[in-house]
Amino acid sequence: MAAQVTLEDALSNVDLLEELPLPDQQPCIEPPPSSLLYQPNFNTNFEDRNAFVTGIARYIEQATVHSSMNEMLEEGQEYAVMLYTWRSCSRAIPQVKCNEQPNRVEIYEKTVEVLEPEVTKLMNFMYFQVMGFGLYLMDGSVSNIYKLDAKKRINLSKIDKYFKQLQVVPLFGDMQIELARYIKTSAHYEENKSRWTCTSSSSSPQYNICEQMIQIREDHMRFISELARYSNSEVVTGSGRQEAQKTDAEYRKLFDLALQGLQLLSQWSAHVMEVYSWKLVHPTDKYSNKDCPDNAEEYERATRYNYTSEEKFALVEVIAMIKGLQVLMGRMESVFNHAIRHTVYAALQDFSQVTLREPLRQAIKKKKNVIQSVLQAIRKTVCDWETGHEPFNDPALRGEKDPKSGFDIKVPRRAVGPSSTQLYMVRTMLESLIADKSGSKKTLRSSLEGPTILDIEKFHRESFFYTHLINFSETLQQCCDLSQLWFREFFLELTMGRRIQFPIEMSMPWILTDHILETKEASMMEYVLYSLDLYNDSAHYALTTFNKQFLYDEIEAEVNLCFDQFVYKLADQIFAYYKVMAGSLLLDKRLRSECKNQGATIHLPPSNRYETLLKQRHVQLLGRSIDLNRLITQRVSAAMYKSLELAIGRFESEDLTSIVVSTRTNFPVIPRSIMVTKYLRKTTYMEERFSLAHSLRFHSMVSWIRWFLVLGWAGCHGREQSCSPHGSQEAEKTPPLKGSTTSIEPANHFFLKCMSKFLSLNH
C-alpha cells in the first residue's frame, strides 16, 4: 500500500522546486555572472600568533612585525589610491575670462577663500616629501653604484637583465614606471652607458602580443583539453567517485590542475597589462600611423591610434581566453577547493610527521639543540596526530634507530587547510634552517644533511602557493582582473582641466568592442561580450579597491552609452546581413553568369556567427541582466517595417506593366518546392500590427500582385483568363488550369520571391 503524503510534505516538496536550476540552452560566450560576489577571508593578520606558545619566541616576534608591516601596506595602499583618484578641486572653480571682467576681483577673493585650507595642507605636507628611488638614491657624490658593483656589494648585470626583460612596470590604471629612466638620470650614467642594455630604444618581444599568440593558443588548448576531461567526470556527467573514495594521487592531480590554471591566467593577464602599459609609454604619431591626425590628444595617440588591427584582435582573443577559462574553473570551484584542502593537509602532515622525523633523530643524537628546538616547534605547530598526541614510544624522540620491524606512523587524512598564521610560522622556521646567511657566522644549514636540505627546500618552494590556493575564489578573481584597462586618471590630470572625461572612442573596452563590429570578423564575433566585461572588472575595482562612487558613476554612464551603440550597430549588421543573404539567394543564375562573363562576380556574403549572439537572453553587465535577443528583435522589427514601407511605396509609384514583365520573365525558373504558408502567416500578423492606413495599403498591394500573378501564370501556359482585379474572392475560387496538376499555389511561390526582392530594394 502506498505511503500517505501529508500536506506539509507536499508543500515542502513544491518549495524545493524553486531551488532546481533551469538553465536555458544558450551558448556560453560571456564571463561568469556575479550580481552578488561572496568571498570569505580567513586571513587573521597574525592576530592568533599568541596561541602558538610552543613556537620559538623570535618567530612570534617576527609575526608581530609582519602584522604591523601589513597594516602599513594597507595604509600606503589607501594613500596611493587617494593620490591616483584625486581630482583637483580648483578645476571646478570658475576662471576669469579677461582682465576687463567686472567681477574678477570677487572671483579671486572667493578662490583664495575656498582653496586656502587645501593649499595649507599641501604646504605642510611638502616638509615630509622624499624623492628618488633605489639606485638613483645610491648613485651620487658620496657613493658610486659602479664601485659597489666592483666590490660585489650589488650585481648590476643581474639588475640590467631584469630591467631589460621588464622595461615598463604597471602601477595604477594608466600610470606606469619606465625602469630604465632611473638609470639614465643617475649621476654616473654617462661614463658607464656601455654597461647597460636596458636603456636601448629596442622593445622587448614580450610587448609584442602577436608574437606570443602561438604559445598562448597552444597552452590554452592543452589546458582546456585536460580540464574538460576532469570537468566531464566531476561536474557534467556526475560519474566522478565520492570524495571519500579518491586517492591522494587523484587529489594531487586536481591540485596541480588548479595551480596550473591560475598560473596560466595570471601569466596571460600580465601579458595584456604589459602590452597596455608599453603602449601608454610609447604613443604613436602621424609618421607611425597615417590615420593619426595632427591634433590628436596624448591619450588618443596612446590608445585609439596606437594599436594595429592584428594587435586588437590578439588582445580580444587573449581576453576571451582569460574570461572563458575563468568560467570553466569557476564551475569546478567546489571540486578544486576540496582537492586543495585535502592535498595541503596531506603534504603538511606527511612532511611534519614523517619527513622531519629523521633530521629530528639526528639532531637529538648529535645534541644540536637549536635545530632540535626548531624541528620540535614545527611539529607542535602543525601536527595533527591520529591519537591526539605525539607517540611517546617513538625511538626518534630519543635519538635511537627504529626497530627491525619498523615504527609505523599512521597519518590521518582530512580536507582541512592550515590557518594563515600556522603556514607562516612553519615556512619561517623552515627558512631559518636552510638560509645561506644569518646573523651569526655559522648557519644552521651547514648542520643538516644533504637529503634533508633538499626535502625542506622542496616543501618550502611548494608551500608558497598554499595561501593562494586555499583562497581559490579570490585568487581566481584577481588573476582574471583586467580592470586597469579603463582607468585614465593620470592622462585626465595631464589635460589640465580641458577634459572632464575622455569620449568612448578613446576607451580601451569600447575600442576592442567596436573593432569587432566594424571589421565584421566572423571568428571574433562570439568574443564581443568578453570585451564588454572589462566594464564589470573596472566597476568592481572602483567600488572595492578605489572606494570611489564617482568612478563607478562614470563607468556606468559610459556603459549605458556604449551598450546602446553596441545594440544599434549589431542589430543593423544582422538585418543587413540576412537581407543581403536573402537577396543573393534569389538572384537569377543567368544574371550571375552574365555578370561573370562581363568580369563582375557577384559573391554571396561571407558567413558570420550572429546566431550565437541572438541566443543570449541574460547578458550580465554591472549587475544587470539584459535580454540581448529582445533588444535586437525590437530594432530588427523596426527596420523590417521600414523596409516594408519602402517596398509598398515603390510598388505604388510604378505602373502595373512592370509586375507583368517580371512575372513573364522570372516565373518559369521559380522552384516549385518552396512553401509560403509560414510567410503568409507572418504577413497576416504584420497586417494586424500595422495601423489602419498601412493595413489597407498592404492588403491592396497583395490583391493586385496576386491578380497579376494569375495573369502571368496563365500567360506562361498559353492561356488568358478574364477576371476583375477587384474580385479577390472570385480569384480564390478560380479552378486549377487544365493540363496542370498545380493550382494557384505557384503564384503564391512567386509572391514570396517578389516580396523578398521588394524588401531588398533599399539595401
Average pLDDT over residues 79-104: 74
Say yes or no: 318 and 349 in one domain: no
pLDDT value at 546 more than 60: yes
Say yes or no: 362 and 304 in one domain: no
pLDDT at residue 170, rounded to an integer: 72
Q: Can you say whether the dihedral through the CA atoms of 608, 612, 617, 623 is positive or negative? A: negative
Say yes or no: 153 and 249 in one domain: no
DSSP state of 168: E
Neighbours of 199 (CB within 10 A): 17
Which range of 312-321, 396-405, 703-712, 739-748 scores highest in mean pLDDT? It is 312-321
Is residue 413 within 8 A of residue 346, CB to CB? The reply is yes
Strands 624-626 and 619-621: antiparallel
Among 165, 182, 201, which residue terminates a domain?
201
pLDDT digits (tens, 9 = 90+) for 597-617: 888 877 777 888 888 898 888
Place of cell 617576527: 62
Residue 455 lies in a domain: yes
pLDDT at residue 390, rounded to an integer: 86
Biggest alpha carbon–alpha carbon distance for the chain = 123
pLDDT at residue 318, rounded to an integer: 97
Average pLDDT over residues 247-269: 95
Q: What are phi and psi of 484, to 5 degrees?
A: -70, -10
Say yes or no: 654 and 744 in one domain: yes
**Coil, strand or helix: which one is 100?**
coil
Among 144, 175, 201, which residue terminates a domain?
201
Is residue 55 within 8 A of residue 429, CB to CB? The reply is yes
Residue 75 lies in a domain: no
Residue whose C-alpha is closest to residue 700's, from 647, 759, 648: 648
Residue 266 lies in a domain: yes
Give the C-alpha distances (Å, rounded to integers) separating 270 from 169, 468, 485.
10, 17, 12
CA atoms within 13 A on the CB side of 674: 17
pLDDT at residue 101, rounded to an integer: 78
Say yes or no: 237 and 250 in one domain: yes
Place of cell 565584421: 520
Neighbours of 596 (CB within 10 A): 11
Say yes or no: 288 and 317 in one domain: yes
pLDDT at residue 696, rounded to an integer: 58
- Mean pLDDT score of the chain: 78
Of the candidate ranges 55-64, 117-126, 225-234, 282-291, the one whose mean pLDDT is the lowest = 117-126
Residue 30 lies in a domain: no
* Angstrom distance (rounded) from CA 537 to CA 486: 9
pLDDT at residue 320, rounded to an integer: 96
Say yes or no: 660 and 714 in one domain: yes
pLDDT value at 744 more than 70: no
Neighbours of 725 (CB within 10 A): 14
Q: Can you say whether the dihedral through the CA atoms of 190, 193, 198, 203 is positive or negative? A: positive
Neighbours of 188 (CB within 10 A): 14
Say yes or no: 212 and 321 in one domain: yes
Is residue 30 within 8 A of residue 529, CB to CB? The reply is yes
Residue 7 pLDDT grade (very low, low, confident, very high; cuts 50, 70, 90) = confident
Residue 419 lies in a domain: yes
pLDDT at residue 271, rounded to an integer: 93
Residue 479 lies in a domain: no
Residue whose C-alpha is closest to residue 540's, from 602, 496, 486: 486
Residue 13 lies in a domain: no
Say yes or no: 414 and 431 in one domain: yes
Average pLDDT over residues 553-566: 96
pLDDT value at 343 more than 90: yes
Which residue pairs from 164-169 have beta carbons closer than 8 angstroms and sit at least 24 positions apart in sequence? 164/197, 164/198, 164/204, 165/204, 165/206, 166/204, 166/206, 166/274, 167/198, 167/203, 167/204, 167/207, 167/278, 168/207, 168/274, 168/277, 168/278, 168/281, 169/277
Say yes or no: 215 and 325 in one domain: yes
pLDDT at residue 721, rounded to an integer: 41
User: Comparing 153 with 601, which gets the higher pLDDT?
Assistant: 601
Of the candidate ranges 68-82, 119-133, 256-270, the one whose mean pLDDT is the lowest = 119-133
- Crossing angle of helices 692-716 and 745-759, in 10° steps, is 120
Is residue 709 within 8 A of residue 747, CB to CB? The reply is yes
Q: What is the pTM (predicted TM-score) of this model?
A: 0.75
Of the candidate ranges 338-347, 491-500, 580-589, the one whose mean pLDDT is the lowest = 580-589
* Angstrom distance (rounded) from CA 314 to CA 521: 13
Residue whose C-alpha is closest to residue 502's, from 486, 514, 518, 515: 486
Say yes or no: 186 and 212 in one domain: no
Residue whose C-alpha is closest to residue 478's, from 120, 29, 41, 118: 41
For 304, the domain range is 203-331
Say yes or no: 144 and 245 in one domain: no
Residue 221 lies in a domain: yes
Q: What are phi and psi of 497, to 5 degrees?
A: 90, -5
Look at the chain and report how many structural domains it folds into. Answer: 4
Is residue 278 within 8 A of residue 271, CB to CB? The reply is no
Q: Can you say whether the dihedral through the CA atoms of 24, 30, 36, 40 is positive or negative? A: positive
Among 447, 465, 483, which residue terminates a domain?
465
pLDDT at residue 230, rounded to an integer: 87
